[in-house]
Amino acid sequence: MLERCRKGDERAWAEIVNRYWGLAFRVAYRILRHKEEAEDAAQDAFVQVYLALPNFRHQSQFRTWFYRIVVNCALARLPPSPVELLDESQQVELVEGAHEDPEGIVLARERAQLLDWAIKQLPPEWRTVFVLRELEGLSYAEIAEVLGIPIGTVESRLFRARQRLRQLLKPLLGDG
């Protein structure tokens, strides 16, 4: 199929976009937490695939290569100050809103806000590793290849992301 894409076969491109759009949008959205930005990042990724396809030599799997492109396109769209800081009253509102839910169940909207806020507190490099491992299910080796970092760094960033999220999302966690 990639060969057909190289030759400019419209139908092959349609198959690629149909097959990988979901992945591209999902990863971009989970990194950016912004629908329109994620849509643009996913689109950028396919254009990057088109531009880089002549140089793709099958040294890595297409999927891994594609993940790398999507992650780079998403990271390029992160605002210059990636950590979205809420003022104290906003933080209290979110956390108390979660705590004071009468049934002990946080409303979906509040939960989404809390997840949004929490993940935006992570530095982009921790956030990316967390998304790829915990939500996309990539192995450490795959993440290392996607991000071009050693496996030890993957392990350390993931641990830090997990610990930070554990602190930030206390209101959502049960007593264990």
Partner 1 sequence: MAESEANLNMCEWQRKVSAYLDGMLVSEETAKVAAHLQVCEECRKAIIEWQQIRLQFLTESLPTSPTMIAVTLERLEREGAFKTSNLHHRIWQFDSWFTRLDVAFRAAMAAAILAALLLANSTAPVFQAKDTVQAKIQQVIRLIPLVHSNESEQVNRR
Q: Which residues bind partner 1 (CB under 8 A)?
A: 5, 7-11, 13-14, 17-18, 21, 25-26, 29-30, 35, 39, 42-43, 46-47, 50-51, 108, 111-112, 115, 119, 133-135, 140, 151, 155-156, 158-159, 162-163, 165-166, 169, 172-174, 176
Q: What does the alpha-carbon distance between residue 73 and residue 70 come to, in Å, rounded to a whole number?
A: 5
Q: How far is the CB of 126 from partner 1 (least distance, A)?
A: 13
Residue 17 or 149 having the CB closest to partner 1:
17
CB atoms within 10 A of CB 170: 12
Given a contact cutoff of 8 angstroms between Cβ atoms, the answer to whether 132 and 23 are in contact is no
Q: How far is the CB of 73 from partner 1 (least distance, A)?
A: 12
C-beta contacts of 19-25 below 8 A and 24+ residues apart: 20/46, 20/66, 21/46, 23/66, 23/67, 23/70, 24/66, 24/70
Q: What does the alpha-carbon distance between residue 5 and residue 175 come to, in Å, rounded to a whole number?
A: 52
Residue 43 or 72 having the CB closest to partner 1:
43
Q: How far is the CB of 115 from partner 1 (least distance, A)?
A: 6
Q: How far is the CB of 135 from partner 1 (least distance, A)?
A: 6
Q: How far is the CB of 141 from partner 1 (least distance, A)?
A: 10
Residue 10 or 87 having the CB closest to partner 1:
10
Given a contact cutoff of 8 angstroms between Cβ atoms, the answer to whether 143 and 129 are in contact is yes
Residue 32 or 89 having the CB closest to partner 1:
32
Given a contact cutoff of 8 angstroms between Cβ atoms, the answer to whether 113 and 171 are in contact is no
Residue 88 or 175 having the CB closest to partner 1:
175
